[in-house]
Amino acid sequence: MIKINVDMTKCQHYGMCVFEAPNVFKLNTDDKLEYTATAEDSERANVEAAVDVCPMQAIFIVD
């Protein structure tokens, strides 16, 4: 399992992460980011891609 943290004070809810890891990140009906704090190891590449594309650098993988 990988642990994920999003700094919600930095996040501007652009949703770029949703395109990269839709099983982990989503925008709710208010267009606010929601995410799961843990994901299967099989999602690591997608989560790493989400970390890379986040324009606010708000997503972190906690090792």
Confidence (pLDDT) at 49: 98
Give the CATH number, domain containing residue 47. 3.30.70.20
Domain count, the chain: 1
**How much is the pLDDT for 63?**
81
> With b meaning 16 or more CB within 10 Å and e meaning fewer, what string describes 8-35?
eeebebeebbbebbeebbeeeeeeebeb
- Cα Dmax for the chain: 31
* Domain with 23 in it: 2-62
Pairing of strands 25-27, 2-6: unpaired
Full-model pTM: 0.93
> CA 10 to CA 32: how far, in whole Å?
13
Per-residue pLDDT of the chain (63 residues; tens, 9 = 90+): 999 999 999 999 999 999 999 999 999 999 999 999 999 999 999 999 999 999 999 999 998
